[in-house]
Chain A
C-alpha cells in the first residue's frame, strides 16, 4: 500500500465525510449550503469536514461563475484507495485458489 493512502483513509474514516464524498460522486459538485441542508450538521461543521477532505487531497474548489463557492472531488484522489481494493482482491483470489488446491490434493 502506498504511503499517501493514510490521510485518505483517515479522512474517510468519518461517516459524515463519507456521505459528503458520496454526494460528490453522485452530483459532481456541491456547496456548503447544499451539504448543510442535506446533512444533520451545522454549516460550521460542514466547513470543517470539507477542510479535512481538502487537507487529505480529496476535494478542491471548483471554478464557478459568480460568488458561489462550489466544491468537487479532486481528479484521481480516490484512485489509490480503489487500487488497493482491486490489488487486495486479486491477491486473495490467488491465495484462495492455492488454498483450495492444497486442501483438495490432500483430502
Chain B
C-alpha cells in the first residue's frame, strides 16, 4: 500500500539531493531515530531508495524521485511495504477512507 507524497522546493535538484543522500543532510529534516536507513539504490541525483528498518515494526521501502521543475525541484516520495503490491489496494481502500 504505497503512500505517495510530493513537495516543490525552491532549490536545484543537486541541493535537494545532498539533503536526501547524506546522513548529515538527513539529520536536518528526518527525525526518526527509531528506524535505521539502509540505502539500496543511489542514482545521483534523481533516484534514491532506502529500506527503513525498525525494531518494532515491519521494514518499509522508501523511494525518492528528484526532478527539476519550473520552481526548482519536485520531490516525490513513495513508502511501501515490500510484501505487498499495493496499488490496487489503495483503490479499494479509497472507498473506506472517503
Could you list which residues of chain A lie within 8 angstroms of chain B, going by C-beta atoms? 1, 6, 9-10, 12-13, 15, 18, 21-22, 25-26, 78-79, 81-82, 84-86, 88-89, 92-93, 95-104, 106-107
Contact = CB atoms under 8 A, between A and B. Distances in A.
B33 interface: no
B9 A82 contact: no
B58 A99 contact: no
Interface in B67-98: 75, 77, 79, 81, 83-85, 88-93, 95-97
Contacts of A96: 5-7, 75, 77
A15 B8 CA distance: 34
Contacts of B29: 95, 98-99, 101-102
B4 to A, nearest CB: 9
Contacts of B95: 25-26
A106 B7 CA distance: 17
Given A97-B7, A98-B29, 19 more contacts: A1-B57, A9-B1, A12-B84, A12-B89, A15-B88, A18-B92, A21-B92, A25-B95, A25-B96, A78-B92, A81-B1, A81-B93, A82-B97, A84-B1, A85-B1, A96-B6, A103-B11, A106-B11, A107-B12
Interface of B: 1, 3, 5-12, 15-16, 19-20, 28-31, 57-58, 75, 77, 79, 81, 83-85, 88-93, 95-97
A22 B90 CA distance: 10
Contacts of A86: 97
User: Which among B7, B9, B89 has the highest number of chain A CB atoms within 10 Å?
Assistant: B89
A74 B8 CA distance: 40
13 contacts: A9-B1, A9-B83, A9-B84, A12-B84, A22-B92, A78-B93, A85-B3, A85-B97, A97-B7, A99-B9, A99-B19, A103-B11, A107-B15
